[in-house]
Structure 1
Amino acid sequence: MTSHKPTILLIYTGGTIGMVKDFKTGALKAFDFNELLSRIPELHLLDCQIETYSFDIPIDSSNMNISNWQKMAKIIEENYSKFDGFVVLHGSDTMSYSASALSFMLENLSKPVIFTGSQLPIGDLRTDAKENLITAIQVASLQNNNKPVIQEVCLYFEYKLYRGNRTTKISAEHFNAFTSPNFPELAESGVHLKVNND
C-alpha cells in the first residue's frame, strides 16, 4: 500500500511573514505567494504537496476582526475534504486571538490548523520566517497510519507548538514571542521534532 503525500493548504492572511523588503527604499511589500517555493527552496524537501491561498488584501493583524475569522474558517471549511492539513500565515500581534477564535469555530477537527508568522520579513537575512513556516508545514503534515497526528488548532512559533487557545503574545522584540502559561506545549522542534503525546 502506497502512502500518499500529505496535502497542505497554506493560507496567507497578512503579516510580516509575507513581506519582502525593497532593498532600495527599505519599504515592506507583500510578495506573491506563488513565488514561495522559489524563495524557500527547502520547501521542496518536505514530503508533502503545498497549495497556497492568499487574501486579496493582506490584513494588518492589528485590524483583524470577526469577519476575517469567518473568512478564514470558511476557506478551511470549503477546502476541508481536499487537504490533510492547513497552515495559516498571520500577523503576530493578534495571532493568539485568531487561533483561539478558530479553535472554537472549527469544532470536531480531525485535521491540523497551524497558525504561524514571523517577527522579521521572509527576505531578511536573520529572518525567523523560514524556520516557522517550514516547521509549521512539517507539523501539519505529520501522519501516523495515514491519520494526522495533530487534530486541533495550534500556534507554532520559535521551535514550539502550542494549543491555539492557550497562547499569549509576550514580546514584539524576541523571536520566542509567544508563551502558553497554563498548558504545556504540544511539540518542540530541535534537531528532531518531539511531539508531546500526553
Structure 2
Amino acid sequence: MTKSRPNILLIYTGGTIGMVKDFETGALKAFDFKNLLDRIPELKHLDCDIETFSFAEPIDSSNMNPKYWVEIAEIIESNYNLFDGFVVLHGSDTMSYTASALSFMLEHLAKPVVFTGSQLPIGDLRTDAKENLITSIHVASLQHFNEPVIKEVTLYFEYKLYRANRTTKINAEHFEAFASLNYPDLVTSGVHLKVNTDYLFKPNTKKRFKVNKNFDTNIALVKLYPGISEALLRAVFSTFGLKGVILESYGAGNCTTETWFLNILKEAILNGIQIINVTQCSGGSVLMGQYQSSELLLKLGIISGKDMTTEAAVCKLMYLLGQNVSSKVFKTIYETSLRGELT
C-alpha cells in the first residue's frame, strides 16, 4: 500500500520570519500563519501536507529560556505520532541555543526537527524568509522507503542544513548568518537538494522516543581575557547555588598559569562544581595537555569540551545537571557524544 503524503507541523515561536511590514506605515506586525498557503503559494508545490501551530504569545528570541524550550519539546511530544516531521520557526539570535537544547531533550528522535528563521521579515522584497521556510519544509518531508531521511534536530539557513548542536551564529547582517565550523553540512540546497548521507546522525530507532524536560540553570559562562581579575573570578565562583561553569579558554584550551587562577579552579572542583573547558575560537577543539598551560587544567580534573560550540556546551551542562548525573561519572558522560555534538 502506498503511503500518504508526508505531513509536517510548522511551529512558530516568534522572530523576524513571522513578521510582515505594513507598507503604508512601515511598521512590522505579526504574520497569521493560518493563512500560510495564501501568503506563500509556492508551498503548494511541495509533496507534503502542512499544518501550523503558533505560540499564543510569540516571543523575541532574546527572551528565550528553558521554559520555552520545554514548551517547544512538549508540542513535538504531543504531536510526535501524528506528523512525519517538524519545522520550528525561531528568531536567529538564540536559535543555536534552543536547537542545541532540543537535540539533548529529544532522546531517540527518529524524525526530522528543522529550525529556521530569517534576517528579514517574510513580507520584505529581498527577504530570505521564503527560501528558508520552503526548503526547511522540503527537507523535513524528505523520505526514503517511507522512512524520514533526517532523524535529528537540525538548523537550516541560507542554502545549508546543519546539525543543530554544531551551529553558531556568526553574522548579524548577512543572509549567511550561521556556520558549522567543526562538522560538515548535512544538506546543500542548489538546483537539487544534495544530502550528505554519511554525516547524518543515526539514532537507535529500536528505542522509544523520550523527552527530557529538566534543566538546571545554576551555571556560569566565563570568557578568559588578558587582565581578567582574581576578584571577578572569585565573585563568579562564589555565586550561591553554582553547579557548573563553562570556561572559554584561549586556542586549544589554554589559560593563565597564575597561582590564584589555578587555586580558584581547584577549590571549585573540590566544592563539587563542574568546570568545562571550551575554546573561544570559532572553530577547532580543546586539546588539554598539548601545551603546559592546559596540562595544568588536565591535572586539576577540568572537563574537556573538545570541539563543542559554546552553545552546545552550555545546553549540555544544564541538561546533564538537570538529569542529576552522579559526579563520579559526570566527566565521562560529558566528554561522550550524546547527539553528535562533539567529534
Normalising TM by the smaller chain, what interval?
Answer: over 0.9
**Aligned equivalent of 1:34:** 34
CA RMSD of aligned residues (A): 0.5
Matched residue, 1:182: 182
Does residue 1:78 correspond to 2:78, yes or no?
Answer: yes
Superposition pairs of residues 112-131 of structure 1, within 5 angstroms:
112-131=112-131
Q: Corresponding residue for 1:155?
A: 155
CA shift digits 1:72-110 (9 cap, x unpaired): 000000000000000000000000000000000001110
Gaps of at least 5 residues in structure 1 are none
Distance in 2 (CA, whole Å) between partners of 1:91 and 1:126 is 18
Q: Report deviation, 1:14.
A: 0.2
Q: For residues 55 and 140 of structure 2, what CA distance do their matches in structure 1 show?
A: 20
SS at match of 2:161: strand
Shift of residue 132, structure 1, vs aligned partner: 0.3
Deviations 1:61-80 (A, max 9, x none): 00000000000000000000
- In structure 2, what is the Cα distance between the partners aligned to 1:94 and 1:27? 24
Match of 1:165 in 2: 165
Deviation at 1:25, TM superposition (A): 1.5
Mapped to 2, the partners of 1:3 and 1:190 lie a distance apart of: 27
1:2 Cα deviation from its structure 2 partner: 1.7
Shift of residue 193, structure 1, vs aligned partner: 0.2
Could you tell me how far 1:131 is from its partner in structure 2?
Answer: 0.4
Deviation, 1:4, is: 1.2
Q: Determine helix, strand or coil for the equivalent of 1:156.
A: strand
Q: Which has the higher contact order (CA 8 A, sep 6+)?
A: 1
Could you tell me how far apart the structure 1 residues matched to 2:86 and 2:170 are?
Answer: 25
SS in 1 for 2:107: coil
Opposite residue 192 of structure 2, the aligned amino acid is H
1:45: which partner in 2? 45
Higher CA-based Rg: 2
SS at match of 1:52: strand
Match of 1:2 in 2: 2
Report what 1:193 is aligned to.
Answer: 193
Tell me, in whole angstroms, the C-alpha distance in 1 between the residues paired with 2:167 and 2:25.
35
Q: In structure 2, list runs of 5 or more residues that go unmatched.
A: 199-343
The separation in 2 between residues aligned to 1:143 and 1:80, in whole angstroms, is 16
Q: TM-score, normalised by structure 2?
A: 0.57
User: How many residue pairs get matched?
Assistant: 198
Write the distance in 2 (CA, Å) between the matches of 1:188 and 1:148.
17
Task: Normalising by structure 1, report the TM-score.
Answer: 0.99
- Give 3-state SS (helix, strand or coil) of 2:156's partner: strand
CA distance in 2, matches of 1:109, 1:75: 14
Alpha-carbon shift at residue 3 of structure 1 (Å): 2.6
